[in-house]
Amino acid sequence: MEESRIVLGVIGSDCHAVGNKIIENVLSREGFQVVNLGVMVSQDEFIDAAIETGAQAILVSSIYGHGEIDCAGFRGRCLERGLDKIVLYVGGNLVIGKREFSEVETLFKDMGYDRVFPPTCDLTEVASNLKLDIKARI
């Protein structure tokens, strides 16, 4: 099977580069071709990269608590640009203040994200889910 291409980055004004590099490393070892856009990435930069590379998934990371603002409308923008089959994941510390993760997960799924991950999660599990979700969309 051909390697799946994914676009990875940290959205908005967030600049946590270390976690982003760890995610890139693990997903590369799991067999993905990772296009890492780095930090402070806009929604349009994610979408442009996905279109240019033919990516099957976009993984959005945010750890500074403003993910709820930065990620709003992302699925709609993907649809407008023809990425109706793109797998869309988001993870990190996505909201300001303490909220139950189940509440955060519901919020982001309602925004159109396929899967939502807390700040600490098993990246091999993320990779397994990603392989299944990409296969289901092809």
- What does the pLDDT look like over 94-109, one tens digit per residue? 999 889 999 999 999 9
What contacts 128, CB < 8 A, 6 or more positions away? none
Confidence of residue 16 (pLDDT cuts 50, 70, 90): confident
User: Any catalytic annotation for residue 14?
Assistant: yes
User: Any catalytic annotation for residue 84?
Assistant: no
Do 99 and 68 touch, CB atoms closer than 8 A? no
- What does the pLDDT look like over 26-53, one tens digit per residue? 999 999 999 999 999 999 999 999 999 9
Catalytic residue among 16, 48, 66, 133: 16
Give SS3 for 43.
helix
pTM over 0.85: yes
Do 115 and 129 touch, CB atoms closer than 8 A? yes
